[in-house]
A and B are shown apart, each in its own frame.
Chain A
Amino acid sequence: MHYLRISDAPIDVGEMYQQLVAPEYGGIDMFVGTVRQWTGKIETTKIEYSAYHSMAEKQLEKIAAPIEQQGGRVVVAHRTGQLVLSDIAVFVGVAAPHRAEAFKWCQYVIDTLKHEVPIWKKEYDTDKIRWGN
């Protein structure tokens, strides 16, 4: 069973990892996205994330479903609210019988999330505020 969460609550990697551990899996791939200070010459001080929660959860379900049908387990947690440098913004973990699927599916989930899930960042940079990328 997958575990998908979009909330203001801080993300505990250990807790997320525990959701992925099961005897049928031999490979667990995890991606942790954190708040970065520098993007080229732009310096970020904090990021505020907002979401269209109900739709975002539905979109995550759609991303996770085909992986689960193929025998994997998907865990996604995304923060909303104000985050400071190095805070965890997103956790994506996929457990699979073998490493090849775990790597492939984990990358698929984070890449698809970035295009298809209605979550937005408001980036507070030292020169100005930027919405999105």
Chain B
Amino acid sequence: MEVKIRLFAFLQDQLGPSITVEVTNPVRIKSLLNQISQQAPQLSSTLANSRLAVNQEFINDEEVILKVNDEIAIIPPVSGG
């Protein structure tokens, strides 16, 4: 299944506002981030410290079931405040 993933901050600077990725459920979050790292090695250290959000909620489990219409985002380390 293909899903669209929103990107922010440094990731957005490098790859644009979103990417499309092929995934199979259940999705291991670490594997998903590694998959993107392989396509964009300059982002690997940022991705290694990033979290996944689905429908604007952080996913704290190792795996997640994604649906086509989910709002999926990779959240790099935040730096507000």
Contact = CB atoms under 8 A, between A and B. Distances in A.
Interface string B11-49: 011000000000000000000000000000000001000
Category for how many chain B residues contact A: 10 to 19
Given A50-B8, A55-B73, A132-B9, A121 B56 contact: no
A17 interface: no
A115 B51 CA distance: 12
B75 interface: yes
B80 A54 contact: no
B80 A113 contact: yes
B6 interface: yes
Given A52-B8, A132-B9, A118 B53 contact: yes
A116 B58 CA distance: 9
Nearest to B49: A132
B78 interface: yes
Contacts of B56: 52, 54-55, 58
27 contacts: A51-B80, A52-B8, A52-B56, A52-B75, A58-B57, A78-B81, A89-B80, A90-B81, A113-B80, A114-B79, A114-B80, A116-B58, A117-B78, A118-B8, A118-B53, A119-B78, A119-B79, A119-B81, A120-B76, A120-B78, A120-B80, A121-B79, A121-B80, A132-B77, A132-B78, A132-B79, A133-B79
